Amino acid sequence: MDLFDAGRTLVMGVVNVTPDSFSDGGRWLAPEAALAHARRLIDDGADILDVGGESTRPGARRVDAAEECDRILGVVRELAAEGHTVSVDTVNAVTAHAAVAAGARIINDVSGSLADPDMPRVIAETGVAYVAQHWRGTPETMNSLATYGDVVAEVVAELRGRLDTLQEAGVRHEQIICDPGLGFAKDAGHNWRILAHIDEFAALGHPLLVGASRKRFLAGVVPPALAAQPLERDHATAAITALLAHHGVWAVRVHEVRPSRDAVRVARMVLENRRPRE
């Protein structure tokens, strides 16, 4: 698949091989279970599988690169061998390097290379696509760093700083995808404001990936009795996918693929029918 010429928003399905991710942690830890889950996401219409071995939710236990590799590399190798486009969600350069050797075509770094200063070199040397996500601090400290005057302008400016670092290390412009990092050092109000001004991120000059799926800020729009349950946020997630696809974002990262896949097609039908009326 041509990653950058699909003519529509791509759907990236989440394959967490972790015991502690906030919405589905532990369910896919065994490699066989993770593979079965990934294949279901493909059947549901996923364009990309995002395999992660370390949870980044606030307060999650950090795992070292060796344990992370142990969890994910077999899964990455198998899915790549089956011909799927695999992304690996990691902040560790060692893991990124091993993942590319195992067949990953995208490294998805929620820290935008702040967590590991060696990441830009690995991305430059391997030449793979790289998601530079905005965050501040670490998963332990990020909630306390969610203070902004103008969240949109500040996140754009901080992402520009990450782009400079990447390009200084020799990463090519065409390799880089930007992500505003919903929920990473952002409260609900910040996330909604970023979504409302998503067009302003186009000024960065890179394709945009957005991960809203099942995040806590969506609790505010589901019926109160269900709000605490992440799985009940899938309808709201698909609604956000439709809005983002209508704005032409490059990809959405979601847990439940089918509703977002349909939402992308709805947006595409509407966009295709916008030609002038006779």
Residues that bind ligand PMM (CB under 6 A): 14, 16, 21-23, 52, 55-57, 89, 108, 110, 131, 133, 179, 181-182, 209, 211, 253
- In whole angstroms, how close is the CB of 198 to ligand PMM at the nearest point? 13
Q: Which residue is nearest to ligand PMM (CB)?
A: 211
For residue 56, the minimal CB distance to ligand PMM (Å) is 5
CB 106, CB 130: distance < 8 Å: yes
Q: Are 195 and 151 in contact (CB under 8 A)?
A: no
Given 71, 215, 258, 261, the catalytic residue: 215
CB of 215 to ligand PMM, least distance (A): 7
Best CA proximity match to 47, nearest among 249, 252, 245, 210: 252
Rounded to whole angstroms, the Cα distance separating 16 from 2 reads 24
Going across the sheet that includes 106-109, the strands are 176-179, 129-133, 106-109, 86-89, 48-52, 10-16, 251-254, 209-210
Query: In degrees, to the nearest 5, what angle opens at C-alpha 234 toward C-alphas 41 and 251?
Result: 60
Where on the phi/psi map is residue 99: left (φ > 0), alpha (ψ -120 to 50), or beta? alpha
Q: How far is CA 277 from CA 246, 266, 274, in A?
A: 19, 20, 8
- Selecting among 71, 105, 253, 261, the annotated active-site residue is 253
Angle at CA 33, nearest 5°, toward 32 and 35?
A: 65
CB of 190 to ligand PMM, least distance (A): 13
DSSP code at position 227: T
Q: Which is nearer to ligand PMM, 264 or 276 (CB)?
A: 264
Question: Among this protein's residues, is 186 annotated catalytic?
Answer: no
Specify whether the CB–CB gap between 117 and 99 falls below 8 A: no
Tell me, yes or no, if 215 is annotated catalytic.
yes
CB of 14 to ligand PMM, least distance (A): 5
Give least dist CB 180 to ligand PMM, A: 8
Which of residues 122 and 131 has its CB atom nearest to ligand PMM in the complex? Answer: 131
Task: List the beta bridge partners of residue 133.
Answer: 179
Q: Which residues are marked as active site?
A: 215, 253
